[in-house]
Structure 1
Amino acid sequence: MNQHISSASREHTSRGGTSQRNASVIFFIATLFILALLNNVHAQRVVNPLAEPNAFIEAVGNNALDAVRQDPAAKRGDTRRINELIDQYLLPYVNFEKTTRLAAAQGWRTASSQQRKQLVEAFRGTLIRTYAGALTDVDKIAALNLLPFRGDPKAKDVVVRSYFSQRNGPQVNVDYRMESTPEGWKIYDINVEGIWLIQNYRNQFAQQIRENGVDGLINALNQKNQ
């Protein structure tokens, strides 16, 4: 990965120290997360949140590959442009609050309503900042490939398995954990090569909350987001 992504990876490793390989994988999650969830008005496929799980991910993911490649500002890591894309095309398909709640764990249960709101916004900013550093590698992704679905497509909580093939590189296995809502599927966690996004941040958040409380975590995230 380029120097920008390596710098971002070091920023997110836990104080106890995560291996360099794991840090790189975690930050590659950011690229795949934005690719898999963004939609675009120029995309040809219709996204139906009420479709079967694989069909939903396939439509959104393939639209995203086309859309991000057509957006020079996003590929340059323009945070404002990425923010616009997320607000317009990502939010309908993701439960950011659930992702934050599960990552904060005990800290969420003891937080006030205002703290929860601030924490969701701060964590969202963290993910946007991560995307900005990772999107420059979008052209390395060749295709999204869905694996046969396992489980009941009518279940309330499912996992869709896939892999991204890369140009001049090994495939990257990616799983999407989704919940069924009245509006359709909502994605709230992603697993890249055995590392779940929520679990990775949960370890980091727990340490910060133990040392400085929920407000300390919010402040730490916001400081890095500046």
Structure 2
Amino acid sequence: WRHSFLLALGATRGKNLFEGVTLTAKYFFDAVGAGFDGSLTYRQIEEPADIAKHPTALRDVKEKARMLVGPFLNRKKILFVCRENACRSQMASAFARYYAGDRIEAESAGSQPISEINTLMVEVMKEKGIDMAFRRTKSIEEVLGYMKPDSIISMGCGEECPYIHGVPMQDWNLSDPSDKPIDFMREVRDEIEKRVEKLTKNLH
């Protein structure tokens, strides 16, 4: 669901001026898993103020920005919550971003967050090709400070989960794998993945 776009300027007006940089950009964006959505290139831009004088550049850029950014601004906001925000809700939000990051803005939080994410969780998510090492735990209050969710999905934190008027809530009631063997962590991971996949398929 990653998108990329090239904006390039050149001082001369050669016909093939941007072929090299466009090819390089395509290779780079492909390497980071981003689809190439085109480019805007402008010739004979010699001075800093020249681009401002271009008859269509500003309008072109605004139109492309609306095209690329618009869908992201309309994504459904989902908050996944659990008690510690160290395992289950972290995995759920990661899978939601992985499978439907273009349609879902996913966050995770905990009713009683601990200081660090679970290392076994990081390990089993790495098996799925998802890097969790950079993630940190957050409280529900912290996330609600910058995000108003369209829905809340609890992993099983019960009455400790927040009630927000007008925001629907689901409870997946998943067992906490934080102090269990790695095989149990994998079972919970796989169950979360299945539920997230189903969620994304039914998303309107």
TM-score under structure 2 length normalisation: 0.30
Choose between structure 1 and 2 for higher RCO, CA contacts under 8 A separated by at least 6 residues.
1
User: Which structure is higher in helix share?
Assistant: 1
TM-score, normalised by the number of residues in structure 1: 0.28
